[in-house]
Amino acid sequence: MALLRSWIESANVAECPFPLNNLPYGVFSLAGEAPRCGVAIGDRILDLAACEAQGLIDAKGTFAEPRLNGFMALGRPIWEQVRARLTALLAEDGNRDLPLVALSDATLHLPIQVTEFTDFYASKNHAFNVGALFRGPEDALPAQWTHMPIGYNGRASSVVVSGTPIHRPMGQLKGEAGPEWAPCRRLDLELELGAIVGGSNPMGSRVNVDEAEEMIFGYVLLNDWSARDVQAWEYQPLGPFQSKALGTTISPWIVTQAALEPFRSAGADRVNPLLPYLHESRPGLYDLEIGWSLNGQVMGRTNYNVMYYSSAQQLAHHTSSGCPMRVGDLLGSGTISGSEPYQTGALLEMTQGGKAPVTVGGAPRTFLEDGDEVTLFATAHGEGYSIGFGPCSGTIRAARD
């Protein structure tokens, strides 16, 4: 698919993350004004609440709300109608009298009210690398890993928007003479993609993978900050708990499924056939270059299509017990890692558990230090255009007493 040209010239630059082909949704405010919904286009934000007030679009008044949950709840037919209308308004021959604001003048907010957060473990490379560190290579992958998506229920209350500082957590750590109470010493990032659920299913019902696809509204970058020393002490036998509760950062713009449609891609090769309820009728991953930087230095680069399970497969598996999903649920992909050290999405892997330091700013490093800034990035490359997500950054602050 080629670039869709807009009358907003900044949207026609090949490197711009927000061309007319993208149209990601978010929530923004200007000084002294209430947050409301908008769409990023070039270096501008189209004020969707003002568009509704002027009768240019119809989203049942939901765009005046400080979150996108109401709009998502209207369902896919309305999502498609609004996208088509926005594309027409912003096209080269569109309406040049629209309520636009400069992106640089806006404050960006958490785009949804996160109802629940589930984090998965869907990269075979990451799962093997971490399993080998904790249990040895002969027992790295649990027996069930290649048969179903593995996940855990995280904390919706600690999901924050890009730019929100993250405090180093205190925690119970394993010491030589027993447990210690101390600041985390092995603080880490996780490079992930988050799927935003825009549909729901009743308790006791299940959805298949194709139905799950229809329920996904879009995607955000996601950094699931991790306290590795807390995790190592607590994770047996029920998995991570406080090591993952300190914060999860997401990007402010939700890139829709429609924007990513031209980039569909198959994932990693299967080790064994999946059970029928996890079968996909079309590839569920995307050709999306993704990576992360530490204090401005690019550390890791890989592609989202290395993953073993798609978000739709994760969502279908989530409902397999009859679990009800709700509008605003957030599903983390799990750390996205390639097969090489420079393709890993966490310092735990990159430094082999701290045994192989990396150089950052000319100094050897293993895990995150106070003052560090981690930024995630991702781009899909089309014909003469790019699809981006905007910033997903967080700075580490010292532990609270």
Predicted pLDDT at 237: 86
Predicted pLDDT at 131: 86
> Do 9-109 and 117-397 fold alike per CATH?
no
Judge whether residue 55 has pLDDT over 90: yes
Predicted pLDDT at 203: 98
- Residue for token digits 């009768």? 55
Predicted pLDDT at 130: 86
Give every CB contact of residue 86 below 8 A, 6+ residues apart in sequence. 23, 39, 46, 57
Q: Cα separation of 290 and 263, whole Å?
A: 14
Cβ atoms of residues 172 and 332 within 8 Å: no
Fold of 9-109: SH3 type barrels. (2.30.30)
Cβ atoms of residues 20 and 106 within 8 Å: no
User: If you average pLDDT over residues 248-253, what whole number do you get?
Assistant: 98
The CATH class for the domain spanning 117-397 reads alpha beta
Predicted pLDDT at 90: 98
Cβ atoms of residues 111 and 254 within 8 Å: yes
The larger pLDDT score, comparing residue 130 to residue 392, is at: 392
Predicted pLDDT at 99: 98
Judge whether residue 69 has pLDDT over 90: yes
Local confidence band at 93 (pLDDT 50, 70, 90 cut-offs): very high
Judge whether residue 1 has pLDDT over 90: no
Cβ atoms of residues 168 and 189 within 8 Å: no
Local confidence band at 310 (pLDDT 50, 70, 90 cut-offs): very high
Q: Cα separation of 6 and 245, whole Å?
A: 42
Q: Cα separation of 188 and 225, whole Å?
A: 6
Predicted pLDDT at 134: 78
Beta bridge mates, 363:
360
- Domain positions in the chain are 9-109, 117-397
361-384 residue pLDDT tens = 999 999 999 999 999 999 999 999
Predicted pLDDT at 200: 97
User: If you average pLDDT over residues 184-202, what whole number do you get?
Assistant: 98
With a pLDDT cut of 70, the percent of the chain lying above it is 100
Give every CB contact of residue 350 below 8 A, 6+ residues apart in sequence. 299, 300, 341, 342, 344, 356, 358
User: If you average pLDDT over every residue of the chain, what do you get?
Assistant: 96
Predicted pLDDT at 401: 80
Closest CA to 229 of 247, 243, 208, 209: 243
Predicted pLDDT at 135: 83
Q: Is 9 helix (H, G, I), strand (E, B) or coil?
A: helix
Q: Cα separation of 304 and 288, whole Å?
A: 5
Local confidence band at 386 (pLDDT 50, 70, 90 cut-offs): very high
By annotation, the residues acting in catalysis are 126
Predicted pLDDT at 33: 97
- Which residue pairs, CB below 8 angstroms and at least 24 apart, start in 92-98? 92/5, 92/6, 92/7, 93/7, 94/6, 94/7, 95/56, 96/7, 98/46, 98/51, 98/56
204-220 residue pLDDT tens = 999 999 999 999 999 99
AA letter at 143 = A
Closest CA to 354 of 146, 188, 224: 188
104-161 residue pLDDT tens = 999 999 999 999 999 999 999 999 998 888 788 888 898 999 999 999 999 999 999 9
pTM exceeds cut of 0.95: yes
Burial bucket for residue 146 (CB in 10 Å: 0-12, 13-18, 19+): middle
